[in-house]
Structure formats: C-alpha cells, structure tokens
C-alpha cells in the first residue's frame, strides 16, 4: 500500500511541467487560505500589531498593481495578468524551466499570478487583498517609513522573478563550449 502511494506521488512530480504545476497549486492554495483568514479575522483598514514599530497584519484592498499603481484598473490588470501567465507558460523553455531552480521559479510565479488573478476575478471582491505590512517607526514623527502592504502571491512572484534573473545571470556567466 505504501509503495503504491509513493509510486503515485512520484508520477505527479515526474516531469518538469508537473513539478511546476504542483508548486503553483500549493502556493495558490496557501495564498487563498491566508487571504481567507484575513477576510475572516480583520476588518478592512484595521491593523493588528505583531512587532511594534516594524510589522503588522492589515486588511487592505488594492485595485491597482504594486505600490497601488494604476489604481481602479482592476479589469485591465486582470487581462495583463492572464496574458503574462500565457506568455510565460509558452516561453518558459527560454528560462531554464528544465532545471530544478527554474521549476521552482515558474511554480512561484504561476501560483502567485493565479492567486492575485483569482482575487481580481472573484465576484464581490474584484481587488487584490494585501495584509503583510512592514514599517519602521521614526522617533519624533508620526509618519513611519513603510513598505506597501503585500500578500503571499506578491512574495512568490517577486521571489520567482528574482530566481529567473539569477538563473539567467548564471547561465550567461558560465563558459560556452567552443564552436568547431
């Protein structure tokens, strides 16, 4: 019985595409679960201090992109995300998706895009839920130095893109075989 389970699990992860899809699915579920927790435990605009002067959970709605750029363009940004997802899927072979690190990168990117795209398309929501807020309280000022709130999907996308840059940089840096 145990062997059959392991054999089935091995088949799920037997190809690069399946590994990418599996990681994207895990990340998507984690992203949506964390957003569900936020929606059911914090009121919109509320902040729960976790580390005073540094980190809190918040519930912010973003109809724009990073740093609230293009606010109010939710439908257009959903279309851009969908086009990016399809384009990345068909061009992934150009970015070493056959390597383990490439598969991790694309799993993170695909899962993150799908997580935020789902937020944009869900009836009643039509906006991305952001809830992780890092900031530094300044002495003598009521205004903190802060980073815009973000979510698990945003973190995954940024990490995946960073890995793609690293993979590309490493492959360009490695010596090429001499042409005969």
- In order, the DSSP letters of 103-137 are HHHHHHHHHHHHHHHHHHHSTTT-SEEEEEEEEEP
Residues 6+ apart with CB under 8 A from 26: 111
Q: How many distinct structural domains can be found in the chain?
A: 1
Reply yes or no on whether 154 is catalytic. Answer: yes
pLDDT score for 12 = 63
Which residues are registered as beta bridge partners of 128? 62
For residue 80, the enclosing domain spans: 57-172
State how far the Cα of 55 lies from the Cα of 62, in Å rounded to an integer: 19
In a domain, 23, yes or no: no
Q: Looking at 31, 119, 146, 154, which residue is catalytic?
A: 154
Residue 151 is given by DSSP the state: -
In a domain, 177, yes or no: no
Q: pLDDT tens digits for the chain (180 residues)? A: 566 655 665 666 678 889 999 999 999 999 999 999 999 999 998 999 999 989 999 999 988 887 777 787 788 999 999 999 999 989 888 888 889 999 999 999 999 999 999 999 998 788 999 999 999 988 887 788 888 999 999 999 999 999 999 998 887 776 666 565
In a domain, 61, yes or no: yes
In a domain, 148, yes or no: yes
In a domain, 13, yes or no: no
Q: Do 133 and 62 meet the contact criterion of CB atoms below 8 Å apart?
A: no
In a domain, 126, yes or no: yes
In a domain, 94, yes or no: yes
In a domain, 11, yes or no: no
pLDDT score for 2 = 61
Reply yes or no on whether 119 is catalytic. Answer: no
């Amino acid at each position: 019985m145990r062997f059959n389970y392991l054999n089935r699990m091995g088949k799920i992860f037997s190809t690069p595409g399946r590994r990418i899809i599996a990681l994207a699915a895990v990340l998507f579920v984690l992203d949506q679960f964390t957003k569900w927790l936020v929606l059911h435990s914090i009121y919109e605009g509320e902040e729960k201090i976790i580390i005073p002067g540094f980190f809190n959970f918040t519930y912010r709605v973003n109809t724009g992109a990073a740093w609230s750029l293009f606010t109010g363009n939710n439908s257009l940004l959903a279309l851009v995300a969908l086009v990016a997802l399809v384009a990345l899927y068909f061009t992934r072979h150009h970015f070493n998706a056959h390597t383990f690190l490439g598969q991790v990168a694309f799993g993170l990117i695909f899962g993150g895009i799908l997580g935020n795209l789902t937020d944009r398309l869900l009836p009643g929501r039509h906006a991305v839920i952001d809830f992780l807020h890092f900031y530094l309280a300044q002495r003598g000022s009521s205004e903190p130095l802060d980073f815009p709130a973000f979510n698990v999907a945003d973190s995954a996308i940024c990490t995946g893109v960073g890995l793609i840059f690293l993979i590309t940089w490493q492959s360009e840096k490695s010596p090429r075989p001499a042409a005969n």
